[in-house]
Amino acid sequence: MTAITDALRITRSVRLADVDPASTPGFVGDKVAGAAALAAGADRLAEMQERLYAASRAGGDRSVLLMVQGMDTSGKGGIMRHVVGQVDPQGVRITAFKAPTPAERRHDFLWRIERALPQPGMIGVFDRSHYEDVLIHRVRGLSKPEVIEERYGRIVEFEQQVAERGIALVKVMLHISRAEQGARLLERLDRPEKHWKYSGGDVDEREQWDAYMEAYEIAIERTASASAPWHVVPADRKWFARLAVHELLIEALEGIDPQWPVADFDVATERERLIATGDVAVVEADAVSGSEGEGLDEPAGEKAGKKAGKKVGKGKKAGKKAAKKARKKARKGKKTGK
């Protein structure tokens, strides 16, 4: 648990008026420092996600579900682009829950949620969730009070079942101030390229601001626990909200601690078979070991050569020299048919 994730964790009740939406709990630094921290953690997040996915190929049954709630303009889309966008899209499934379709209305409110849960090895991301059925339904009176009360208990039971299935649940509320929301909505109206994001319904919901804050407080109090905590993330500063959710995702993945699968084949034998096909630049095995994901866009010979240079302590120049040598050897082998 980091200073940020610890500061955001809610296991009981919360009074949202006491949480400053412009604050940066657990982080000392400005926007530049926050952006740098987000970038610095990108490789770690990508590696942990790849390990989760790889482990599932060998029978691992764990997954992660990031559930993001928040008022309009709170920054849910930015979380998808700047945080979730740091990992391989093959290992992510994003589901945006809008108003239920006629087909979905014929089922229980949790039916469509169940169908979208992540499979082993995946990171599932919910843009809104089953909590809409106790938030907007409470504010707009779309369901009877006793039905909403029952749903709180059913949500708790459902989330316990989710955990038992090996899904690490990360519940986030992006907490934006009314003033900041007003500024962001006005920007959508003042900039033609943002008109597509605007909806008159946003203003309708804004008029019910206090009712929504109360509905969030009740939902959090009814469903927060040590095993399924909420995280109230101040969202007036977009950079901090993104950094905070980034930390929460890494924390969830590290809690699972997925491991690289052990090869189910003889590595030495397969290496010999590959080399025997020709046109393979062979370098020392220990020279190519290093950080996973480093130099993914480089030719294999050049990448190996650079790492070999680091191995002997000669830095970047030696790495390039080794790369050149590896490529020369590969060309020589091609000419001689070796």
**Each residue of 209-255: pLDDT tens digit?**
999 999 999 999 999 999 999 999 999 999 999 999 999 999 999 99
**Each residue of 282-337: pLDDT tens digit?**
886 554 444 444 444 445 544 444 443 443 344 444 444 544 554 555 455 444 44
Are 223 and 130 spatial neighbours (Cβ–Cβ below 8 Å)? no
Distance in angstroms (rounded) separating the CA atoms of residues 69 and 127: 7
Task: Report the pLDDT averaged over residues 96-101.
Answer: 94
Domain 3-256 has CATH 3.40.50.150: no
Please check the confidence at residue 200 and state whether its pLDDT lies above 80: yes
Distance in angstroms (rounded) separating the CA atoms of residues 70 and 235: 9
Percentage of the chain exceeding pLDDT 90: 82
**Each residue of 118-143: pLDDT tens digit?**
999 999 999 999 999 999 999 999 99
Distance in angstroms (rounded) separating the CA atoms of residues 297 and 308: 17
**Each residue of 184-199: pLDDT tens digit?**
999 999 999 999 999 9
Q: Domain locations in the chain?
A: 3-256, 267-336
Task: Report the pLDDT averaged over residues 25-43.
Answer: 97
Q: What pTM did the predictor assign?
A: 0.83
Please check the confidence at residue 54 and state whether its pLDDT lies above 60: yes
Task: Report the pLDDT averaged over residues 151-176.
Answer: 97
Q: What pLDDT, on a 0 to 100 scale, did the predictor assign at position 283? A: 80
- Please list, in sequence order, all residues whose beta carbon lies within 8 angstroms of the beta carbon of residue 120, skipping any fewer than 6 positions away: 56, 60, 61, 62, 63, 166
Please report how many Cα atoms fall inside a 13 Å half-sphere around the Cα of residue 213, on the Cβ side.
15
